[in-house]
């Protein structure tokens, strides 16, 4: 099976499995798990922040960030297709008691002029703007890289209004790998950041949030409140440490394969690639194939290819470290075979 649904489906490497078995552990709620401590220290160093916290998932990390930064009744500003807004079940409203205000962006970028206009003034009728959230890479923009210049501009606007900025950097290591820059070059334009260990980096579970010492101290309490205080969790921190320190260098391979996939799909007349393939995500519009999204996905599955719906007429294909060059070739052959009757 060639599984292109997501880079979340990867299985731990043999080195990760050995590290899990051999991990030195302790009760992390008491702050006594040495493997978690090593992971958090290394994460803070790589992300350019004072401190870091291991959390169970990217969604939990984002929720903890909002809960720590905001007060009930605040408003959170974010791009209209942001993961926090689109794919996290309205959690920031349910948990933090805040409302969202979305801004129309361009390939994930928040225009600074629109951001300035969205920030609330000092009026008792308005909620206070408690947080600005950005996302890089941007999932619904097709894995788009948000330029560092845009991040800097957003951060400058935020600082002028004394508003914190949280970066949903679930795939931030993909950005750094593609642009050949250190991850900290991007996080310096944020107050806090969340990165996933279980996507392109390939760990079986877990994410990191990072920020100031004071922020992480308060975030740790919110993690406990949300049921995220785990015990001998070094068995998960160990593969996370390998993921963060050893798996980032190979991410450009995924990007090359995604671009090769996109180029091959472009050659099929009835398909349109609707995103600029910056990293490891390809979004194809299949409207002209004569098939529904559901039908094409079933046809692909019957040929041992998995993808996911991404809109009324679009599907998403995501490369990762289990996908090889031959997998890309086979995937293209299957698409050509399935759509050949249409081409005739």
- pLDDT at residue 344, as a whole number: 44
Give per-10-residue mean pLDDT for the chain (344 aa).
96 97 95 96 98 97 98 97 95 96 97 97 93 97 97 98 98 97 97 97 97 98 94 96 96 98 95 97 95 96 97 96 97 92 50
Estimate the share of the chain in helix, then strand, then coil, as percent rounded to the nearest 5. 45, 15, 35
* CATH hierarchy code of domain 250-343: 3.90.1150.10
| Beta bridge mates, 132 | 77, 165
- pLDDT at residue 341, as a whole number: 61
What is the residue whose two structure tokens read 């500003």? 77
Relative orientation angle of helices 234-246 and 14-22, to the nearest 10 degrees:
140
In 3D space, the residue among 236, 182, 237 whose CA is nearest the CA of residue 45 turns out to be 182
- pLDDT at residue 59, as a whole number: 96
> Domain limits of the chain?
7-246, 250-343
- pLDDT at residue 340, as a whole number: 75
- pLDDT at residue 50, as a whole number: 98
The answer to whether 219 and 188 are in contact (CB under 8 A) is: no
The fold of 7-246 is 3.40.640
Backbone Cα Rg of the chain: 21
The answer to whether 105 and 80 are in contact (CB under 8 A) is: yes
């Amino acid at each position: 099976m060639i599984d292109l649904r997501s880079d979340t489906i990867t299985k731990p490497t043999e080195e990760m499995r050995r590290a899990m078995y051999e991990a030195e552990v302790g009760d992390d709620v008491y702050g006594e798990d040495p493997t978690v401590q090593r992971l958090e220290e290394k994460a803070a160093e790589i992300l350019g922040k004072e401190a870091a916290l291991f959390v169970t998932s990217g969604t939990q990390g984002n929720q903890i960030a909002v809960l720590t930064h905001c007060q009930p009744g605040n408003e959170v500003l974010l791009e209209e297709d942001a993961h926090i807004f689109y794919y996290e079940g309205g959690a920031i409203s349910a948990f933090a008691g805040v409302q969202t205000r979305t801004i129309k962006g361009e390939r994930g970028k928040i225009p600074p002029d629109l951001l300035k206009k969205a920030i609330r003034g000092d009026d008792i009728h308005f909620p206070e703007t408690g947080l600005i959230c950005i996302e890089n890479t941007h999932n619904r923009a097709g894995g788009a890289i948000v330029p560092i210049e845009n991040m800097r501009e957003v951060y400058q606007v935020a600082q002028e209004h004394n508003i914190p900025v949280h970066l949903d950097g679930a795939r931030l290591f993909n950005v750094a790998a593609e642009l050949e820059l250190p991850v900290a070059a991007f996080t310096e334009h944020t107050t806090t950041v969340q990165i996933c260990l279980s996507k392109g980096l390939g760990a079986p579970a877990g994410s990191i949030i990072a920020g100031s010492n004071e922020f992480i101290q308060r975030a740790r309490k919110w993690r406990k409140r949300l049921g995220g205080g785990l015990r001998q969790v070094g068995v998960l921190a160990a593969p996370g440490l390998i993921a963060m320190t050893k798996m980032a260098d190979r991410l450009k391979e995924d990007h090359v394969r995604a671009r090769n996939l996109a180029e091959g799909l472009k050659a099929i007349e009835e398909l349109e690639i609707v995103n600029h393939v910056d990293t490891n995500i390809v979004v194809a519009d299949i409207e002209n194939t004569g098939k529904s999204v559901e039908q094409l996905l079933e046809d692909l599955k019957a040929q041992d290819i998995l993808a996911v719906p991404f809109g009324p007429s679009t599907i998403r294909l995501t490369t990762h470290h289990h996908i090889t060059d031959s997998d890309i070739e086979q995937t293209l052959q299957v698409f050509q075979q399935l759509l050949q009757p249409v081409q005739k």
